[in-house]
Chain A
Amino acid sequence: MHAETGFRESAAQALGDPQIRANFRRAMDGLMAKRAAQFPDPADLQALRSLGTAIRARSLLKLPELLEQLEASCLRNGIQVHWARTCEEGNELILGLLRARGATRLVKGKSMVSEEMGLNHFLEEHGVEALESDLGEYIIQLDQETPSHIIMPAIHKNKTQIARQFSQKIKDAKYTEDVDELTALARKVLRRKFLEADAGLSGVNFAVADTGTLCLVENEGNGRMSTHVPALHIAVMGLEKVVETLEDVAPLYALLTRSATGQAVSTYLNLVRGPRGPGELDGPREVHLVILDNGRSRIYADPQLRATLRCIRCGACMNHCPVYTRVGGHAYQAVYPGPIGKILTPQMEGVGVRHELLHGSSLCGACSEVCPVEIPIPEIIVRLRREATHRDPGSSVEGRGTGRTATEDLAWRVWAAVLSRPGAYRFAAWCATRFRNLIPGGLPLLKAWTLARGKPVPARRSLQERVREEGIPHG
């Protein structure tokens, strides 16, 4: 999953692909319109957001306590709970569960945490077939790709691309561009897999501490199939997903579906309360919950960065991000792309290695404007940029101080020296205005700027000169 080329190169590559750009622009324009239609009244929206933010903030405030409560409630319901500190631990744990039961065929509902763990790849290396059953995930799995969006993994592909792919990769498939036929085709393959599977794996949208209920939001019914058909069900979640009571779920659910796909409700909302009870005719025989840390407790420990963990993974920030819209999800080379990925990835992998990602934002604030739980993404980006170049003693950010370069350091020092000395600034301004046409377009920064734009030419005389001529009092 790690970047071989930087964000900048892969973004440039995506920008050069008109198909990708058109696919994303169309999809994101549609999603933005759908969300807007779900929130016609700004006051209602703000009331619901405030409620959602408060619920998530309260859950995080009590996080250690709620996690303990969740474990106890789950055990009471017959759900076995496992803790994984790292992705490797999580993978081993799941493999262990499968092996102990001789399971070799796993069907998966959509789970970003399992993407984070690189679970499919790991399982396949150890002889377990892991089949994605969410249509979007299935499409990208056929092509051995990673998701380019957290809600719509195959959003970067259009109908024709999928039609071509299905006809080549699915046995006995005829070429068709009819969406219903394509869906039916995938469904036929997947239905058989559900019946044959030894185990099912799903994500968790909200885990209720009070009742030990695992909530799963989905539209295709594949989540229900993977959590109910196979005898063994394994749920995986990040440790921040816990909420206090069932009442907390309703407003978060309302925010999630509207922000994500512009739906008032999703087609399915699964509430898993444990394995099949005596006399019940369906449901798994065993249910396990794997709770993953992978850096989350470190994020949790910092009062400002903790807001990152409020995220309910709705994807609205990416849908509204002008950068994401231009380059698509793969350019980020991270499990979580877009604005949330920009703050989550560096915190998980280190601010130094993800320096470039942190700077791939114009700080326009569209993300925090739509975020249903009001995560101040631009503020956190600025905080992390600072962490990347400074080694604050009080901070526990991974890789802090490692993004510092001598050139950049020097540049900012010179910048500050000129701008905190009016005389130096006046001289620089004088030069810029007098030699306005002589400034070479080949200067490093100017050259980058002029790739797509005309060269900016300073005015003939600065405002300060004009003001002096007009005799505006200095004070």
Chain B
Amino acid sequence: MHPERVYFYGTCLVDLFYPEAGMAGIRLLRRAGVEVLFPDGQTCCGQPAFNCGYWEEARGVARSQVALFPLDIPVVLPSGSCAGMMRNHYPELFHGEPDEARVRAFSGRVFELTQFLVDVLEVKLEDLGEPVKVTWHSSCHALRDLGLAGQPQALLGQLANVEVAPLARERECCGFGGTFSVRHPEISGAMACDKAADAVATGASRVLSTDGGCLLNVQGALEAKGAALRAQHIAEFLWERTHAR
């Protein structure tokens, strides 16, 4: 079933740090023949407060966001972590609340971008770029919380001129973990540095991911190392490779 219209949810990190990735996500969806609606008033999915145990505060923010998506159409996010929050944790967060049913219905419509492109839209990509070597880092939340199962890799696999170099300890956390990175900066920093070193060792020119948090963290560590390698959101990369200039 190919939906006609979807909502796009930008997420706070994409909004502030990776707007290009957001635009690329919207363009990929539009090119696949879907009309994209971007409701005004988007802020944050509420995950930081939820993970820290401040559920009342998380609920307040979540409630304000759910209200922005009244139509019964899919909600697509360029972030596995926020998608996991909205899809799997909203029902828990609103358990026993008067609006539980409404929130559950919303959660059932939430998709991560690559998941939506592969599973629902079954997009076929044509690579228009020069040969390039990239490497792939999975976001822990996309992988284990949301349960992303190879969709990003499937998309990259469609690109004829893109070589994906295996990243050592690919499934190991980069150390972002939201508030973890500021509460335990030493441990988090050590994890980010190791991830950056593993990425550099692949010889790739970019390390790709689905999540703004990982990108911010790994990019920060790469900069501290003075590495030429750059972290990039997969949506931005996919768009870059597949649109005629």
Chain A contact residues, CB within 8 Å of chain B: 8, 11-12, 15, 21, 322-323, 326-327, 359-366, 368-369, 378, 382-390, 412-413, 415-416, 418-422, 425, 429, 432-433, 445, 448-456, 458-459, 461-467, 470, 472-475
Contacts and interface: CB of A to CB of B under 8 A. Distances in A.
Contacts of B140: 362-366
A429 B15 contact: yes
Given A365-B144, A464-B15, A452 B221 contact: yes
20 contacts: A327-B187, A362-B175, A362-B191, A364-B144, A416-B58, A416-B61, A419-B12, A419-B44, A420-B61, A452-B193, A452-B221, A454-B219, A454-B220, A454-B221, A463-B23, A466-B22, A467-B22, A467-B26, A473-B36, A474-B38
B126 interface: no
A429 B12 CA distance: 9
Interface in B119-164: 140-141, 143-145
B171 interface: yes
A350 to B, nearest CB: 15
Interface of B: 7-8, 10, 12, 14-20, 22-23, 26, 35-44, 46, 48-58, 60-61, 63-64, 68-69, 71, 140-141, 143-145, 171-173, 175-193, 216-217, 219-224
A449 B181 contact: yes
Contacts of B184: 8, 11, 323, 359-360
A449 B39 contact: no
Contact of A326 (B48, B179, B191, B223): B191
Given A359-B180, A369-B144, 4 more contacts: A8-B184, A359-B179, A432-B16, A467-B22
A474 B40 CA distance: 6
A463 B77 CA distance: 13
A210 B49 CA distance: 47
B7 A453 contact: no
A386 B53 contact: yes
Contacts of A368: 144
Contacts of A362: 140, 173, 175-178, 180-181, 188, 191
Given A363-B180, A364-B177, A453-B220, A416 B60 contact: yes
The prevalent SS among residues of B at the interface is helix
Contacts of B23: 463, 466-467, 470
B84 to A, nearest CB: 10
Contact of B54 (A369, A412, A474): A412
Contacts of B17: 456, 458-459
A385 B51 contact: yes
B134 to A, nearest CB: 21
Contacts of A473: 35-38
B40 A451 contact: no
A462 B217 contact: no
Contacts of A322: 172-173, 175, 191
> What are the nearest 4 A-B pairs in CB distance?
A362-B177, A452-B189, A453-B220, A454-B223
A420 B63 contact: yes
A461 B19 contact: yes
A12 B38 CA distance: 44
B200 to A, nearest CB: 15
Contact of B187 (A360, A421, A463): A360
A59 to B, nearest CB: 27
Contact of A448 (B52, B182, B191): B182
B217 to A, nearest CB: 7
Contacts of B222: 454
Contacts of B54: 386, 389, 412, 416
B43 A425 contact: yes
A364 to B, nearest CB: 4
Contact of B171 (A323, A366, A389, A413): A366
A357 to B, nearest CB: 10
Nearest to B20: A459
In this complex, the member of A382, A419, A420, A433 whose beta carbon has the largest number of chain B beta carbons within 10 angstroms is: A419
A459 B19 contact: yes
A363 B48 contact: no
Contact of B224 (A384, A385, A389, A454): A454
Nearest to B184: A360
A368 B26 CA distance: 34
Contacts of A459: 16-20
Contacts of B189: 451-453
B14 A463 contact: yes
A218 B63 CA distance: 53
B224 A453 contact: yes
A452 B219 CA distance: 11
A15 B144 contact: no
